[in-house]
C-alpha cells in the first residue's frame, strides 16, 4: 500500500536537444537538414549522468546562412560545454520553465553547401536527494532520457555499467546494442525523426548497504544506498521508536519475523513516498522520507488489504497511525471540506495517481486521504483509546459484531477482509456503544456522509440495533440465536426483527420457568443450546414450542415439589416409607434440563401421585400390622395351652398303670414353638416311677 507525497507529481523529463536554425537575413523554409545523437552515460563513481549531444547541420539553401540554434536541457544540468568542428561557440539562456532550460548556441556562420557539427556536453547531478528525479547510484539508477527533437534523424543511447539490471517502465523501450568493456549500451534500433522519451530503471540489490533493527518481536532488514548513510540511520531510529508506539496506539502486535525495508528513489513510486508489499513482507520508503512516513508504512503491516477490503480503510487507519510520529510531524486530521471531484463524495471509489494524472486528479486524491483519515480520527476520538483497540482486535480476529452465545454456536468466521458494513458494525458494537455515545447513529452518519453506505442501505438498522440490545440485555448469560446474528450481520433487518420477536417470547417463557422453579439453573441446559443454535425462523418456532412445554412442565414440577416438601399426616408418613421422592424429583429436573418436558412431567406426576396415594397406602399398612400383631398373640396363647395339655396327658398316663411309683423329682424343660415364631419354655415336674414288681406266676 502507499502513502501519497505532499509534493506534486514527479515529471517526465522531456529535456532533449533541438537545433533550430535561425536565418541571418530572412526566414528560410526547408533550407537545412539536421541529425542528432544524444548519449546518456551513467557515472556511478560520481553519482551523475554525463550527457553528450552531437548535432550535424547541412545548409542546402540558396543565399542564406545559419549562425545559431537553441538546445533544451534539464534545469538541473550543469553548465553546457559547447564546441563546433569550426570556430568558437558561445551560449546564453533564453528562458527557463518548470523543468527545462532553453540555451541559445551561437556559432560561425554556416553558408550554403556547408555542414557544421556541434557538440554539447553537460552533467546532471544524480546523487541521493538530487532534484529532478535523476539517480545514478550503485544500487539504483533511474531517470528519463529524451531523444532529439525537431531533427530529420536522431538516435538516443543510454550507457549503463555492468551489474545493473535494466528495465524501461515508461516510454520507448531501448534495445541492448552491446555489452563490452564493462558497460551495457542501449539504443534506438534506428534513426527517428520525431522526439520521444525513454525512462530507465536499473538496480543492483547486492550493492545495498545492509543493517538491521529490532523492536519487540519484529525484526527489520534495512537496505540503503551506499551513497546515503544518513537514510539508514534515520530509518533505524524511526523503526525502533515507532513500533512500540504503534502497538500501543492500535493494541495490535507486530506479527514477528522479518520485514525488509529498502530505500528507493522518489520517482520509483511515482506520487507516493512509501509502499508496503504484504506478500513479500517488504516496505519501500523513498530517500526523502520523514518519520511520519515510516510510521505510516509500518502500520501497513496490519492495514494492507488483508485486514480491510477497501483502500480508504487501510489508508485512513494508516494515516491516523502517523500520529505516533509525535507533534511537529503529524497534524491531527481535520475536516477535508467540500469534495474536490464531481458528483457526491464517495470514498469507496479511491483515486490512484500516476505520471499522467491531472491536477484535478491530485486534488481528489488529496481529499481521499484527508477524508479517510478524518473519518477514522472522528471515530477514534468518540470511542476512546481502549475501545479503538477493541475494534481493531475484533477486526483482526474476524470476530462477529453480533454475538451468538457459546463460540461453538457462533456463525463460522473466515479470513476474508473486513467489509465496510462489517467495520461499521464492529465500530458500533465494540467501540461506540461501550463508550456510551449518545447518538447510536453517529458512526453510521459519518459513513453516509462519505458515500461508504447509503441512506437506503441503512433503513431499519437503528431500530434493529435497539431491539438487539434490548434482547441482549434480556438474554443475560445466554447468547442470542444464530438466526438473529446472521440476519443482523447480513443487514437483513426485517428478518432480524422477526427472529428477535420470537426470541423474546422464548426468553419470557424461560423467565417464567425461573419464577416457577427458583432453584432450577437454566444456564447450560439443552433449551439454551437449542435457543442459541437456532439458524432460522422455523428453528426458533420449534424452540418456542419446547419452551412452552417446559413452562407447563415447570408448573407440574412446582406442584410436585410442594407435595414432596409439604407436611404429611401419620398415615401418609407410613404410606411413603421406602419411597424416594427426592430421587424422582432429581430425575425430573435432569429431564427438564435435557429439554424432555414430557418425561419431566411424567416424573413430577409420579411424585404427586405417590404423595396423594400415601394416606390409603398408610392405612392398609397399619391394618396389616394390627392383623399380624393379633395373629402373633393368638399363636403364642395356643402354644402355651398345648404345652400344658401335653403335661397333663403325661400325668394321666402314669396314673393309669395303677401303681404307686416312687419318682424322683425331676424337672423337664418343655419348649413350645409359638405361632409368631418365638419359643416359650416351661417346666414340668414329675416323680420318676420305680418299675412295678413282676406279677406272681399263675
Torsion of CA 560, 561, 566, 571, to 10 degrees: 40
Grid cell digits, residue 443: 458512526
- Residues near 673 by Cβ (< 8 Å), separated by ≥ 6? 639, 679
Average pLDDT across each block of 10 residues of the chain; the chain has 698 residues. List them in order.
35 38 41 88 97 92 86 91 95 91 92 93 94 92 83 88 93 92 89 73 94 93 95 92 92 93 84 86 89 89 92 94 74 88 92 84 93 95 95 92 66 77 96 95 96 95 96 93 94 97 96 93 93 94 96 90 80 74 87 91 85 77 85 88 87 68 46 46 44 47
Q: For position 387, what pLDDT does the model report? A: 97
Residue 376 C-alpha cell reads as 477514522
**Which residue, 631, 621, 627, 613, is CA-closest to 676?**
631
Rounded to an integer, what distance in angstroms lies between the CA atom of residue 332 and that of residue 324? 11
Give residue 502's pLDDT: 97
Length of the chain measured in residues:
698
Among residues 274, 344, 340, the alpha carbon closest in space to that of 303 is found at 274
Q: How big is the CA angle at 250 (ends 244 and 253), to the nearest 5 degrees?
A: 55
**Of the candidates 21, 17, 24, which has an alpha carbon nearest to the alpha carbon of residue 33?**
21
Report the distance separating Cα 428 and Cα 465, nearest Å.
10
- What's the CA gap between 453 and 448, in Å, rounded? 5
Cα–Cα distance, 650 to 435 (Å, whole number): 111
Residue 210 and residue 145 in contact, taking contact as beta carbons nearer than 8 Å: no
Burial (0-12, 13-18, 19+ Cβ within 10 Å), 624: exposed
Q: What is the pLDDT, as a whole number, of residue 688?
A: 44
- List the Cα angle 254/255/257 in 5-degree steps: 110
Report yes or no: 209 and 232 within 8 Å, Cβ to Cβ: yes
Classify 494 as helix, strand or coil.
helix
Residue 30's region, left for phi above 0, alpha for psi from -120 to 50, else beta, is left
Residue 365 Cα distances to 186, 246, 336, angstroms = 36, 25, 12
Phi-psi category of residue 113: left, alpha or beta, with phi > 0 → left and psi -120 to 50 → alpha: left
Could you say which DSSP state residue 427 is in? I
Query: Can you tell me which residue has the cell 555542414?
Result: 115
Position 147 scores a pLDDT of: 78
Cα–Cα distance, 308 to 375 (Å, whole number): 15
Of 123, 122, 161, 184, the C-alpha closest to 44 is 161
Q: What is the DSSP string of 212-268?
A: EEEETTEEEEEEE-TT-HHHHHHHHHHHHHHHHHHHHHH-PPP--EEEEEEEE-GGG
Please give the backbone phi and psi of residue 207, each rounded to the nearest 5 degrees, phi first.
-90, -5
Task: State the CB neighbour count (10 A cutoff) for residue 661.
Answer: 14
A 10 A CB-CB count for 648 gives 11
The dihedral of CA 389, 391, 395, 401: what is its sign? positive
Integer Cα distance of 168 and 138 in angstroms:
18
Amino acid at each position: 500500500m502507499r502513502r501519497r507525497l505532499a509534493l506534486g507529481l514527479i515529471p517526465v523529463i522531456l529535456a532533449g536537444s533541438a537545433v533550430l536554425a535561425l536565418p541571418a537575413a530572412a526566414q528560410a523554409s526547408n533550407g537545412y537538414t539536421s541529425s542528432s545523437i544524444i548519449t546518456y552515460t551513467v557515472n556511478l563513481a560520481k553519482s551523475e549522468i554525463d550527457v553528450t549531444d552531437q548535432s550535424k547541420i547541412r545548409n542546402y539553401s540558396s543565399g542564406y546562412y545559419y549562425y545559431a540554434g537553441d538546445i533544451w536541457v534539464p534545469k538541473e544540468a550543469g553548465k553546457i560545454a559547447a564546441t563546433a568542428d569550426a570556430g568558437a561557440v558561445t551560449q546564453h539562456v533564453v528562458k527557463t520553465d518548470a523543468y527545462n532550460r532553453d540555451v541559445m548556441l551561437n556559432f560561425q556562420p554556416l553558408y550554403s553547401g556547408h555542414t557544421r557539427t556541434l557538440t554539447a556536453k553537460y552533467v546532471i547531478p544524480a546523487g541521493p536527494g538530487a532534484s529532478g528525479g535523476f539517480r545514478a547510484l550503485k544500487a539504483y539508477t533511474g531517470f528519463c532520457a529524451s531523444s532529439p527533437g525537431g531533427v530529420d534523424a536522431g538516435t538516443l543511447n543510454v550507457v549503463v555499467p555492468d551489474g545493473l539490471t535494466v528495465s524501461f517502465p515508461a516510454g520507448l523501450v531501448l534495445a541492448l546494442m552491446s555489452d563490452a568493456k564493462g558497460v551495457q549500451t542501449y539504443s534506438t534500433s534506428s534513426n527517428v525523426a520525431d522526439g520521444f522519451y525513454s525512462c530507465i530503471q536499473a538496480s543492483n540489490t547486492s550493492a545495498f548497504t545492509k543493517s538491521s533493527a529490532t523492536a519487540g518481536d519484529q525484526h527489520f532488514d534495512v537496505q540503503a544506498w551506499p551513497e546515503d548513510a544518513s537514510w539508514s540511520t534515520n530509518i533505524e531510529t524511526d523503526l525502533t521508536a515507532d513500533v512500540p508506539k504503534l502497538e500501543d496506539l492500535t493494541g495490535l502486535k507486530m506479527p514477528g519475523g522479518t520485514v525488509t525495508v529498502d530505500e528507493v528513489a522518489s520517482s520509483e513510486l511515482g506520487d507516493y513516498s512509501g509502499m508496503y508489499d504484504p506478500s513479500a513482507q517488504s516496505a519501500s520508503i523513498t530517500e526523502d522520507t520523514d518519520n511520519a512516513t515510516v510510521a505510516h508504512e509500518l502500520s501497513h503491516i496490519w492495514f494492507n488489504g488483508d485486514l480491510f477490503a477497501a483502500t480508504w480503510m487501510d489508508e485512513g487507519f494508516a494515516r491516523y497511525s502517523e500520529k505516533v510520529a509525535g507533534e511537529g510531524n503529524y497534524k491531527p486530521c481535520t475536516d477535508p471540506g467540500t469534495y474536490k471531484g464531481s458528483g457526491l463524495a464517495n470514498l469507496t471509489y479511491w483515486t490512484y495517481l500516476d505520471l499522467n494524472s491531472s491536477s484535478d486528479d491530485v486534488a481528489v486524491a488529496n481529499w481521499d486521504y484527508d477524508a479517510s483519515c478524518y473519518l477514522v480520527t472522528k471515530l477514534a476520538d468518540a470511542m476512546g483509546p481502549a475501545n479503538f483497540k477493541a475494534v481493531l482486535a475484533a477486526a483482526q480476529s474476524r470476530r462477529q459484531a453480533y454475538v451468538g452465545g457459546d463460540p461453538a454456536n457462533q456463525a463460522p468466521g473466515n479470513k476474508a477482509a473486513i467489509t465496510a458494513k462489517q467495520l461499521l458494525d464492529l465500530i458500533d458494537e465494540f467501540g461506540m456503544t461501550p463508550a456510551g455515545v449518545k447518538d447510536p447513529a453517529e458512526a453510521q452518519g459519518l459513513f453516509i456522509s462519505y458515500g461508504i453506505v447509503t441512506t437506503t442501505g441503512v433503513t431499519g438498522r437503528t431500530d434493529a440495533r435497539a431491539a438487539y440490545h434490548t434482547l441482549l440485555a434480556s438474554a443475560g448469560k445466554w447468547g442470542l440465536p444464530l438466526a438473529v446474528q446472521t440476519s443482523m450481520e447480513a443487514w437483513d433487518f426485517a428478518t432480524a426483527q422477526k427472529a428477535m420477536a420470537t426470541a423474546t417470547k422464548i426468553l419470557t417463557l424461560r423467565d417464567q420457568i425461573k419464577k416457577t422453579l427458583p432453584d432450577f439453573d437454566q444456564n447450560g441446559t439443552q433449551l439454551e443450546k437449542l435457543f442459541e443454535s437456532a439458524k432460522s425462523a422455523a428453528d426458533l418456532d420449534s424452540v418456542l414450542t419446547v419452551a412452552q412445554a417446559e413452562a407447563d412442565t415447570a408448573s407440574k414440577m412446582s406442584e410436585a415439589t410442594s407435595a414432596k416438601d409439604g407436611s404429611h399426616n401419620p398415615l401418609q408418613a407410613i404410606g411413603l416409607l421406602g419411597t424416594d421422592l427426592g430421587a424422582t424429583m432429581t430425575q425430573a429436573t435432569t429431564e427438564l434440563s435435557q429439554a424432555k418436558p414430557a418425561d419431566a412431567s411424567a416424573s413430577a406426576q409420579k411424585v404427586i401421585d405417590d404423595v396423594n396415594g400415601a394416606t390409603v397406602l398408610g392405612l392398609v399398612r397399619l391394618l396389616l400390622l394390627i392383623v399380624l400383631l393379633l395373629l402373633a398373640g393368638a399363636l403364642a396363647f395356643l402354644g402355651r395351652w398345648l404345652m400344658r395339655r401335653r403335661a397333663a396327658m403325661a400325668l394321666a398316663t402314669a396314673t393309669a398303670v395303677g401303681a404307686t411309683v416312687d419318682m424322683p423329682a425331676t424337672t423337664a424343660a418343655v419348649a413350645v414353638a409359638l405361632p409368631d415364631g418365638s419359643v416359650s419354655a416351661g417346666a414340668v415336674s414329675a416323680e420318676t416311677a420305680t418299675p412295678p414288681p413282676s406279677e406272681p406266676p399263675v
